[in-house]
Amino acid sequence: MSALAPLTDPLTGTCLCGAVQITVTAVHPEVDICHCTMCQRWGGAFYAGVKGADVSVSGDDAVAVYRSSAWAERAFCKQCGSNLWYCFLPTGSRSFLAGLFDLPPGFGIEQQIFIDEKPDWYDLAQTSPMKTGAATIAEAKAAGFTFE
Ligand SMILES: [Zn+2]
Ligand SMILES: [Zn+2]
């Protein structure tokens, strides 16, 4: 975790068609990156998410949720197909696709997980901690989460 201060102003993001709007306060000024094969299938390449507090979602009717594993749900807009968020079910915590928001300049990368599943054709230039899938899962298990 970083000691960077959260953003003071709430951020509102929207899907491609505008049917779903998501407002998040105290947004952490770094994105989390996941290179796992599931995220690649879902979004075409890596997942980049932001997180914060006091989330409100409008346009619930347009939101579809896909249970992608025993421990996670992924939401998308039924009208335009934009991916919206990833929810880690053991904690209920959600992260939201960074691209939904007009993020202010200066965002960093908190970490890159499942780096061992990243394809060869891209690399992210910004220096950031990198963890393999095994290391990521071991860390979550050490924190008390199970993945069965
Ligand atoms: Zn939409
Ligand atoms: Zn992933």
Instruction: Note the pLDDT tens digit of each residue in 82-116.
Output: 999 999 999 999 999 999 999 999 999 999 999 99
Higher pLDDT, 63 or 146: 63
The closest ligand to the CA of 64 turns out to be: 1
Torsion of CA 41, 12, 104, 112, to 10 degrees: -30
Ligand 2 midpoint to CA 43 (Å): 10
pLDDT attached to residue 145: 82
The closest ligand to the CA of 13 turns out to be: 1
Average pLDDT over every residue of 53-76 = 96
Ligand 1 midpoint to CA 106 (Å): 27
Closest among 57, 104, 55 to 76, alpha carbons compared: 57
Taking all residues of the chain, what is their mean pLDDT, rounded to a whole number? 94
Average pLDDT over every residue of 126-146 = 92
pLDDT attached to residue 1: 47
Q: What residues contact 26, with CB distance under 8 A and at least 6 apart?
A: 6, 7, 52, 53, 54
What's the distance, CA 54 to chain centroid? 16
Q: Rounded to an integer, what distance in angstroms lies between the CA atom of residue 47 and that of residue 124? A: 12
pLDDT attached to residue 148: 61
Task: Please say if the pLDDT value at position 2 is more than 60.
Answer: no
Ligand 2 midpoint to CA 132 (Å): 11
Model pTM score: 0.92
Cβ pair 67, 73 in contact under 8 A = yes
Ligand 1 midpoint to CA 27 (Å): 22
Cα–Cα distances in angstroms (integers) from residue 69 to residues 6, 9, 40, 85, 119, in the given order: 30, 33, 15, 14, 22
Ligand 2 midpoint to CA 41 (Å): 9
In this structure, how many other beta carbons lie within 10 angstroms of the beta carbon of residue 121? 6
Q: Given pLDDT bands bounded at 50, 70 and 90, which one contains residue 144? A: confident
The closest ligand to the CA of 59 turns out to be: 1
In this structure, how many other beta carbons lie within 10 angstroms of the beta carbon of residue 145? 14
